Amino acid sequence: MAPMAAEERRRVLGFHLGHGTPHDSRTIMLAELSTLFASTATDAARADYANAVVDDNVLGKTSAMNRKKSLKLLVRLYGLDAQTPLFRALRKLWSDDEASQPMLAALTALARDEVMLASWTFLHNVPYGSVVTSVQFGEALQPKLPHLSPKMARSMAQNLAASWAQSGHLHGTVRKSRQRPRVTPAVVALALFIGYLQGRRGLRLFGTVWTEVLELSEVELMSMAVAASQRGLLQLLRSGPVVEVRFPGLLTAEEEELCHESP
């Protein structure tokens, strides 16, 4: 297969390209994603998801316009396309453990929404137990998004804070405080897989922004990876200091080649 341009390679693997963010109007839509997955088969095609949202109205929206907008944003956040490895992994891991679902959704959204990923830089440095406000999110993002009006910045900041509450990094409805998210072997498997899609291998897989978001120690992270391997979510091979992680069944031969091309 001929080498593929970097942007096209990222798109094929499931990462989103381009500007804009769903957080200008919504959160990571965890409840909607859960309802949609519960209403569709694990091997559903992209058209099946569209039919479920728009035609069958499984999300219970009040108008056709709202149905179409919800579908558009879910596609923007998650892809909803089994032809892409990132979504394929999300869908496969979703049913492993219900407790995994908030972080599985958050990891996928982070890989497809550059604004949410940028907000992690701020949130990562907030001590556990500290109160976090949408104003702080807005101030942290302002240098990165100077074109936003104050009203739009405030709305986006509120949505980002709500998304991080859905992931488990924040706790509370009105007054949100920083906490450690709940992480499971399935969550670790997805974090490692995203790094793998980006070309990381061996121990370098354990030092990406995707594993950083899990907020585990090195020992905890490796222990969870071992548990994921024992559950068949990935394949972990260790020989002394050498570590190899594989993902049998998740990638085609052509996709494997694309991953090796990733910088």
Dump pLDDT digits (tens) for 86-140. Answer: 999 999 999 988 999 999 999 999 999 989 998 999 999 999 999 998 888 888 8
Average pLDDT over residues 195-203: 94
pLDDT at 263 over 80: no
- The CA distance from 35 to 141, in Å, is 31
Where is pLDDT greater, at 7 or 85?
A: 85
Q: Over pLDDT 70: what percentage of the chain?
A: 96
In this prediction, residue 1 carries a pLDDT of 47
Q: What angle do CA 190, 81, 45 make, to 5 degrees?
A: 125
Boundaries of every domain in the chain:
114-178
Average per-residue pLDDT for the chain: 92
Phi, psi of 14 (to 5 degrees): 120, -5
Q: Over pLDDT 90: what percentage of the chain?
A: 73
Task: Give strand ranges (E) for 135-186.
Answer: 170-171, 176-178
In this prediction, residue 262 carries a pLDDT of 57
- The CA distance from 182 to 105, in Å, is 13
- The CA distance from 237 to 230, in Å, is 11
pLDDT band at residue 3, thresholds of 50, 70 and 90?
Answer: low
**Tens digits of per-residue pLDDT, 28-59?**
999 999 999 999 999 999 999 999 999 999 99
Average pLDDT over residues 76-86: 96
Quick one: how far is CA 132 from the chain centroid? 21
Structure tokens at 171: 């706790």
- The CA distance from 165 to 181, in Å, is 9
